[in-house]
Amino acid sequence: MSKFSDSMRSHLLETFSGDTAGTPYWVKNIEAGEDVGFFGPGSASWAVHGGMPTMVAGIRALLMQTLHPGAMAGVHDWSRYKEDPLGRLAGTIQWLITVTFGDTALAEYESSRVSHFHDRVKGTYLDAQGIERTYSAGDPELLYWVHVVFTDAFLGCHQAWGDDIPGGADQYVREWSKAGELVGVANPPRSEAELISAMHQFNVEGILKHDERVEETIAFLRKPPLRRSMLPFYRIMFAGAVASIPEEYRRILGLKKPWWPAQWLTGLILGLLRALLGPSSTSEDAARVRIARLEVEGKLAS
């Protein structure tokens, strides 16, 4: 492998896992579990979250999250994304990957940790009608919004650039509803149609809003403080994320679909990243080691 490839691989692993070797400390916890977990090999969640399109899905999810002024207020008032954007990204990835590939106890613990961290997130915001409202990270509406936009982003990006999903889109949405429940989401969508309807309802009810905070966050996401060697690749993936967002929400964000073939080029970039990083993640590998150990120990039902 060339020096450029080695350097790029190291930068990518550090960006998305917080570790230049691509194996952060919490992956060992995934290997040490005592059951298959909520999903397991062959699940829709493993297929979606173990694929390269997750790199674009994270961008799309963050863009979509900004449209709810309550969620945006929480990010603006409490998030450290400007001071430590990669640390915040790594923290989000830790929860997503742990719930996906960890055993049930670890997934529950990690979700509880995230929920506890959010307990202090509260304040006020102006809604789309200019009325001041209070918010907290545990508000049912905000939890629901964040869950549906994340589910939609990972599903949509995998549909655009990933392989077939075992059981299809409905199976993924149904499986990942469990992750929503773990962090307090009440009655999350359990099919693709329910997911699309749930998001659309926020728009119909006039909840979504474009303001200067949205503009500020978009500007940051458009050009984050990444290493210069990574920026050309990131800019293509950002454009791909924008292109993948349904027109209904892209219009509110004030973003236009790129005139150039952003989705096609994003696919090329993701193929390159797969070649650099390998076909499977260290987290998935750790989960498979755990499951193989449990099979040898006779702890799994036949």
Domain boundaries, the chain: 3-296
Distance CA 239, CA 230 (A): 14
Long-range contacts of the stretch 115-119 (C-beta < 8 A, 24+): 115/183, 115/184
Q: What is the per-residue pLDDT across 86-114, written as a single tens digit (0 to 9) for each? A: 555 566 778 898 999 999 999 999 998 87
Closest CA to 231 of 3, 15, 2: 15
For the chain, list residues with pLDDT below 70: 1-24, 76-91, 117-119, 278-280, 301-302
Distance CA 161, CA 272 (A): 13
Bridge partner list, 124: 134
Tokens matching residue 217 = 């966050």
Cα–Cα distances (Å) from 219 to 12, 100, 222, 224, in that order, read 22, 31, 5, 8
pTM: predicted TM-score of the whole model, two decimal places: 0.89
Q: What is the per-residue pLDDT across 226-262, written as a single tens digit (0 to 9) for each? A: 778 788 888 999 999 999 999 999 999 999 999 999 9
pLDDT at 276: 75
pLDDT at 274: 83
* Region class of 225: left (phi > 0), else alpha (psi between -120 and 50), else beta: beta
